Amino acid sequence: MGDVALTVPAIRKVIEMNPEIHITLVTRPFFAPFFFGIPRVKLYFPKLEGKHKGLKGLYLLYKDLRELGPFAKVVDLHSVIRTQVVSFLFRLTGVPVYSINKGRSDKNRMIRTKKITQLTHSTKRYIDTFARAGIASKIGKAPYIDYSTEAFQSARSYFVGKLPEKGSLKIGLSPFANNAPKIWGLENFKELITLINENHKVVFFLFGGGEKEIKLLKQLEQHSENVHLVAGKFTLSEEIAMIRMLDLMIAMDSSNMHLASLSGVKTISVWGGTHPAFGFSALGQPDEYHIQPPEGILTCRPCSVFGGKPCIYPTTRCMELIKAKDLYEKLVLLGVLNPKSKE
């Protein structure tokens, strides 16, 4: 999900800078809201669990796409087996194909040596892929993701009544990610909420997805009366509109981190087993907004690119080194929370 979201700045600028270009974008239906409002972009949803499943299905996908053409170029921004097969079939018929260089060898080297070197951001890799295809693009400025009037009205009506005090900060919390080494833990979030509430006028909104996450988020909602659950109640488009209205998002290395930064919202991200240097950091956010364990204590980090490798310790040691009190003080120091804002 995060990878797809990070294509939006590149694609939006391709359209802005190249008025003659029309794009057929092959993606899943769930991701359609990311591309709302971008002109000359036609979304095509493959039936990956049905007609387009397997090798035969990929051939049928290629044939179906050809009927939508002809295409002058194919730009593969994913470069996995599925897209490589379809790209190969286009090449056989003379259509030039340009595939992303994901820098896999550099990322694997960083995991192996633990020598941290800032790698190219994913969005810049997408832009570089378009450049090799002779198509100009650039990152530009946030916000990159738009939303419908209906989504905006739904989000605004939800916030009405949730802000009891004038000047209350609207803070989004996204405590989960797809892998355990990227999760800070609900107890830490409870402590952080308590610390913020002691000195600041704040309303918290909980973002996430999936039945298991929502069940845990409901527990977190009970921690304080100014904590409200968003996850599971709204469409993705409505959640995007809500995120755009936030003053701050605190998230893991996750899709909600990307959605917040792409929406132009101040985004504090908490990093454990993964590392911002891999090129998946919150786009456009200052380096100091990436909260990481103290240096020099662990020799095992980063342990994987996406957090899928189990921790070598019984608990996630790198996340345990990030204390709620330290994060709160960091938020005040960065100025995203004004100290002693309560009367």
Q: What average pLDDT does the chain have?
A: 94
Give the domains, in start order, of the chain with CATH numbers. 2-132 (3.40.50), 149-334 (3.40.50.2000)
Provide the pLDDT for residue 160. 83
Predicted confidence (pLDDT) per residue in 123-136, tens digit: 999 999 999 999 99
Q: Report the alpha-carbon distance of residue 1 to residue 51 in Å, rounded.
A: 23
Token representation of residue 226: 């100014």
For residue 277, the SS3 value is helix
Q: Report the alpha-carbon distance of residue 277 to residue 183 in Å, rounded.
A: 18
Predicted confidence (pLDDT) per residue in 249-286, tens digit: 999 999 999 999 999 999 999 999 999 999 999 999 99
Provide the pLDDT for residue 340. 53
Token representation of residue 36: 């709302």
Query: Given a cut of 50, is residue 343 above it in pLDDT?
Result: no
Q: In Å, what is the CA distance from 107 to each residue of 135, 234, 275, 290, 306? A: 27, 36, 10, 19, 11
Closest CA to 186 of 164, 167, 204: 204
pTM for this predicted structure = 0.93
Query: Given a cut of 80, is residue 166 above it in pLDDT?
Result: no
Provide the pLDDT for residue 230. 95
Closest CA to 320 of 287, 297, 290, 288: 297
Q: How far is CA 131 from the centre of its chain?
A: 23
